[in-house]
Structure 1
């Protein structure tokens, strides 16, 4: 059974920053997987998909199966994702049901989200605000962060959480 730290939040909510802090502080190795990694490596080039709305379902079905494949092979994961499409959560619940997940919600206020988005410059303007308006709807988390805590402290809180007995993850609720 793999351990999966599932970081969920709007675009520009700090998922990558937290993932890097976790890897720096953890005493065990984690694979860090995200759509951004596929884009940045050139494995996925958005420009190759002029009809993204048609290609998107197959792309994410493959991404979800890739996550499950790495976990099934025994790799501990840090996953960054935005569950913004109906059915994705249920699909991932089924694919990852045999694994130990810590579902982490990142909910910084809108002002820092939009500022980070602007500084990054590689996101469509307004995507962070659109995500923040709905991506947390109906979800419960094992841990939540609102952006007021320094990232090193968030990472330490999460790693400390791993050292205590935990009930089944809220990821599998609903």
Structure 2
């Protein structure tokens, strides 16, 4: 059974990842894609108040489970659009360890700082300053297969660009290059 393709969208909160993912589900016409979003996994967690240490543990376990869910879905042939925020280096390292790098199209979703701050305030469902805090962190690794800027193109245009790029993914992929850089002891599957 062939593994599924993974379109992995990485960007700050309010950068437009979820909007691009929804558009990708509309425009990509070769396969059946599922949108897996880290926010959806976080929303499944218990609603009781958690102390700082308990919350940190729960968030780390949630994200690790999210990464493995992506891998499991793709392993059995499902095509996936991932919506994630790689604002801590361990998150990228974990994804590099559990996802087949040749299956991943790694897309950087960029947006100007002023615009993500404006969107965050307009949304009202995020802690103030979250996007600004993440702004420098999410793209630290510096390697993508493709990038989109949602302050210059709307979600539909970004999705169309990704769709057109998908059949022409570079080999080696950004995930392959990043795995070689950060996890050289893990052989390519």
TM over 0.5: yes
**1:2 match:** 4
* 8 Å Cα contact 1:140-1:170 kept in structure 2: yes
Q: Give deviations 1:10-65, integer Å, cap 9, x for gaps.
A: 0010000000111111112211001222344xx22454533312322222221111
TM (normalized to structure 2)?
A: 0.84
Unaligned stretches of 5+ residues in structure 1: none
1:152 and 1:70 map into 2 onto residues whose CA distance is: 25
Distance 1:31 1:99, change over 3 A: farther
Unaligned stretches of 5+ residues in structure 2: 182-189
**1:11 match:** 13
* 8 Å Cα contact 1:2-1:77 kept in structure 2: yes
In the alignment of these two chains, the number of paired residues is: 172
Deviation at 1:146, TM superposition (A): 1.8
Q: Give deviations 1:58-116, integer Å, cap 9, x for gaps.
A: 22221111111111121100001111223221221121126511100011101110111
RMSD between aligned alpha carbons? 1.7
Between 133-142 and 163-172, the greater mean CA deviation after superposition? 163-172
1:17 and 1:164 map into 2 onto residues whose CA distance is: 23
**Alignment match of 1:132 (pick from 135, 139, 146):** 135
Deviation at 1:131, TM superposition (A): 0.5
